[in-house]
Chains A and B, each alone.
Chain A
Amino acid sequence: MTNISYVDLSNHWKHEKQELLEIIDEVMSNGIFVGGAIIEEFEKKVVDYLGVKHCVALNSGTDALVCAMIGFNIGPGDEVITPPNSFIASTAAIAHIRAIPVFADVLPDQTIDPEKIRMAITDKTKAIMPVHLTGRMCRMDEINAIAKEYGLVVIEDAAQSIGSRFNGVMSGAASDIGCFSTHPLKNLNACGDGGFAVTNDDAVAAKIKSMRNHGLVDRNTVEEFGYVSRMDTIQAAILNYRIDHLDDVIAKRRSNAMLYREVLDASHLYIPDESEEYFNTFHTFVIQVDRRDELAAYLANHGIQTAIHYPVPIHLQPAAKNLGYGLGDFEATETQSKRILTLPINQFITEEQVRFIADMVNSFFEDSGDE
């Protein structure tokens, strides 16, 4: 039996071993572990890649969201609208600064529904935090229009969507500020936690730069208290190498996705369509099916590891109890949470493996159709 794991970081390492060992060796012999030219080089590369004015390297994608909100003076009691089907970090970042997460349900493609955003706006609303889940961008034209109408800040959670585009605009560069993660499981990944925020706003960028380093303006002056959220120099060095190869990673994931679409029998499942507007980068490849758990078990029995992103919506998590939501509040999210299944799509999977997985999905439905 072939074994196809959902993710295999050691495999990733094998492909780049020679280059990365040299890079780590160089950083180590320099003795510069916090800040320095390597961080600046990374920030410059991101600025060039995304076509934005500023990038601030941080310790994680979660911290990028926290810093972005504080950068735009969002604080205790302010409401921030975000989808309930995300990884916990988006909502937790809002809770962390003692703002109030307000959920808006999602479209069939799992991105936040602009009309639901409009309905969730109150006089306390200060910001919208769309999440480009799976590497597919939210409908930023409509979201920005709503934000403009109500005078709201838009903070993109682009943790899963580096390089994605909607109507030609890069994720993270499509609003006031974009927040990215470079966690080991991301398309642009380090060997530990990391993240960054991008913006065209000079003052906000300067504020976040100070905030990541205790709020220090210089060695001896604190204007406003901050955090410690610096990207590790060693991780930045790894990212400097990998960002040069990011387009290859994205191309491979996109070609895997195309192959899935070609081989999977569409009559058994739903995959968001890929119209001209979208350039998706497939951090994850998610199908929506009936009998999801049975399919996952069937695939596991054939050596195929799958995942679910995410089986329990945030509004139904124990930690969200005090937000006052309950079952039935977000129908699309809740229905999808029972139907979504993530198939392996990373850049190291072969065409043969993708075909095998797609065939197994098809045969699950065909075989059971015969019963």
Chain B
Amino acid sequence: MKVRYSYLKQQFEHADDLWQELREFVETGDFTLGKPLTKFEESFAELMDSKYAVGVNSGTDAIKLALKVQGIGPGDEVITAANTFVATVGAICELGAVPVFVDCDDTFCMNADLVEVAMTKKTKAIVPVHFTGYMTDMRKIIKIAEKHDLVVVEDACQSILGAIDGKKAGTWASTGAFSLHPLKNLNVWSDGGVIVTSDEGLAEKLRLQRNHGLVDRDTVGVMGCNSRLDTFQAVVGNWLIPEAKNISDRRIANAAYFDQHLGALDPITIPPRPDDYRIVFHLYIIFAEDRDGLLQYCLDQGIEAKVHYPVPIYRQPGLAHLGHKKGDFPVSDEHTKKIITFPCDQHLSREEMDYVIKTVKDYYEQAS
């Protein structure tokens, strides 16, 4: 049996109605900041319990533009997680700002208790990363930000519809950044991103930034860039958005099933699942003894297991100038040896999950 990681083929197998909508859309020629985009932005804001949503070209751009419109620029220090995907740090660096890392805990998110330790006089912002579909403890982050007057941009790229105490990821801070990349829980057919905010002034600034700073066709209010969410992709987004809640529910159910059966195995440790968190499992990651052996065995048995990520961002060659060394963020380092990611998506069948569970079990039985 094969258990694939990407489910995009299945996702669009029964999409005749989407196909029809696209046919109708392409005939309008309304390709740049067109009507379906406005509709998508309204639906997304509503889905998130936020006032405004601004579609941009990628999750990376969402983080970058959210920081930029709140005044973050060259030399400013931005605190973020030591184990995130490269995009968070890329966005900070593109602005000429300096990433300052904080170690994570077993939720794979920044340990909020370590944030104040990392602060200096130059600290201007915090970018908590709601990694894998977990959430950073925003109750603590918001308190710290208020106390020190810091900008907060939530990197919610992996946590659409995640929540703490029922309050959704991306809506705790002034701005929340989301990705619509094909592998995300709510996706389009290409790169794409969205920023949510309830601040009208910020929403307006973001709309300017993504479209060359154009106030109208002939007036450039600020120097901006081109980071529009394609209207074509917004049609895809509009088609999928009614499913967003079901998608995360399904992933949560799959994760619970895995937790129950894989958690029963001694060499496997399930990360904490706090009751007040809604974890949406963009990635289903658990801790495994003899991880490399297990990973290879799973791959040999046709299961596309992965590691997110084998080298933490803070130790990448691109950040060599910051002078970090192995051991600076011990929890992130420790995780790289133990973490393994299994498919957990909404298209995964019970048979496929049972096969994953059996394979993991077989591996450890055979090893002992």
Contact = CB atoms under 8 A, between A and B. Distances in A.
Given A21-B23, A31-B6, A232 B191 contact: yes
B238 to A, nearest CB: 15
A213 to B, nearest CB: 10
A318 B218 CA distance: 11
A317 B220 contact: yes
Interface string B20-60: 00110011111110000000000000000000000001111
Interface in B273-307: none
B8 A31 contact: yes
Interface residues of A, number: 68
Interface string B139-178: 0000000000000000000000000000000000000000
B33 to A, nearest CB: 10
Contacts of B87: 214, 228
B190 A234 contact: yes
A9 B221 contact: no
A173 B64 CA distance: 32
Contact of B225 (A21, A27, A96, A317): A96
A12 B29 CA distance: 8
Interface in A211-240: 214-216, 220-230, 232-235
Interface stretch (B109-117, B262-270, B308-316): B308-316
A312 B191 contact: no
Contacts of A24: 22, 26
Given A28-B15, A222-B313, A232-B191, A311 B218 contact: yes
Interface string A1-40: 0000000111111100100110011011111111000000
Contacts of B214: 88
A92 B224 contact: yes
Contacts of B256: none
Interface residues of B, number: 61
A76 interface: yes
A35 B96 CA distance: 28
B181 interface: yes
Interface string B309-346: 11101001111000000000000000000000000000
B315 to A, nearest CB: 10
A215 B27 contact: no
Contacts of A311: 218
A319 B182 contact: no
A59 interface: yes
B231 interface: yes
B93 interface: yes
Contacts of B94: 225, 227
A221 B218 CA distance: 42
Nearest to B192: A232
Given A222-B86, A228-B58, A95 B6 contact: no
A129 B154 CA distance: 37
B240 to A, nearest CB: 13
A220 B311 contact: yes
B29 A9 contact: yes
A192 interface: yes
Most chain A CB neighbours (cut-off 10 Å) among B23, B212, B311 = B212
A314 interface: yes
B172 to A, nearest CB: 24
B189 interface: yes
Interface in B50-106: 57-61, 74, 86-87, 89-90, 93-94, 96
B1 interface: no
9 contacts: A27-B189, A28-B15, A87-B212, A88-B220, A192-B230, A192-B232, A222-B86, A228-B61, A319-B224
Interface of A: 8-14, 17, 20-21, 24-25, 27-34, 59-63, 66, 76, 87-89, 91-93, 95-96, 98, 183-184, 191-193, 214-216, 220-230, 232-235, 308, 310-312, 314, 317-320
Interface of B: 6, 8-9, 11-12, 15, 19, 22-23, 26-32, 57-61, 74, 86-87, 89-90, 93-94, 96, 181-182, 188-191, 212-215, 218-226, 228, 230-233, 309-311, 313, 316-319
